[in-house]
Amino acid sequence: MRKLVSCVLIFAALITNSCSKRTASTTQDQNSISDATLARISALGFSNQNVHKTDAGYLVEDDIVLTDELLNSVPEQKLMRIANTEQYRTTNLVKNLPRVITIKVVNLGSAFVAGADTAIARYNRLGLLLTFQRITSGTASITIQGFNQGPSGGFITLGSSGFPTSSGNPYNSILMNTNPQAYGSNPNVLYVGSVIQHEVGHCIGMRHTDYMNRAYSCGGSAVNEGASNVGAIQIPGTPSGPDANSWMLACSNGGNRTFNANDKIALNYLY
């Protein structure tokens, strides 16, 4: 998740916020990434523009980590459709249901802990076969930890995550930006919780609702990332028109956002 920033901080509350994300390790230029890797990224249905190498894999669409395992996986689906504006999931989902997904917040302030609890409560109220529980010791299914990165190119990163593994486990890490320009000196718990809720969505296999046209929620030029043979599977029962206020829109509304009616349909269909 990233946020548009201004050099005049007093106007920060008026600025659009993006749900695209960038990890702390994005210094490698795309020119150093092989054509074969870029081709595999494109084949999975993700943009191969502005790709960055990270410790965990490759950061695409400014917000999603693709691991080497995912890039080298064999697609299960043979036929995919070009995206419209329905809800979309990745090929890999969390398996072995019903299942409790544990979440641990490591070395972050109270707003991040409370934000995690907010996100967990929102998921658990849906009555899914996936439930979530925050733990304070032991190894968690998903660990939330911090990084500190200032603004770059007019945006600042808010958080990052990835997709489930082929073995059916959720992506195991969410990174949240501790730079003061990300959430301010006194972070709003509902805003932080909304970001974590979005990142957990990726961890369990949700793509952006508007990945085919990020301009819908982010503004700017329309970007359609095209067809795919894996990684962008339309979820039955979700709408064919624009879906305002979905928790998985590419860019946030700058504040509190939770599940809308179609989000609940999508999650109940999957889990």
**Greater pLDDT, 258 or 223:** 258
pTM of the complete model: 0.78
How confident is the model over 71-88, as pLDDT tens digits? 776 554 433 333 445 677
Tell me which H or E stretch contains 130. strand 130-134
Considering Cα of 213, then 174, then 118, then 124, what sign does the dihedral take?
positive
What's the pLDDT score for residue 159? 87
pLDDT score of 268: 94
- What average pLDDT does the structure give for the chain? 78
Number of C-beta neighbours around residue 46 at 10 A: 24
The mean-pLDDT minimum among 163-167, 229-233, 239-243, 265-269 falls in: 229-233
Query: CA-CA distance, 22 to 45, in Å (whole number)?
Result: 19
* pLDDT at position 225 over 80: no
5 pLDDT band, cuts 50/70/90, is low
Helix residue spans in the chain (DSSP H): 35-43, 68-71, 110-124, 180-183, 189-203, 215-218, 261-270
Residue 131: what pLDDT?
98
- Pick the residue with more confidence: 112 or 185? 112
In CATH, 2-270 is 3.40.50.1450:
no
Residues with Cβ within 8 Å of residue 22, at least 6 apart in sequence: 2, 52, 59, 62, 63, 149, 152, 157, 160
Q: What is the pLDDT at residue 36?
A: 83
Among 19-23, 152-156, 185-189, 248-252, which stretch is predicted with the lowest mean pLDDT? Answer: 19-23
- Does position 143 have pLDDT exceeding 80, yes or no? yes
Q: How far apart are CA 184 and CA 148, in angstroms?
A: 13
Tell me the average pLDDT across 248-267. 87
Percent of the chain with pLDDT over 90: 39
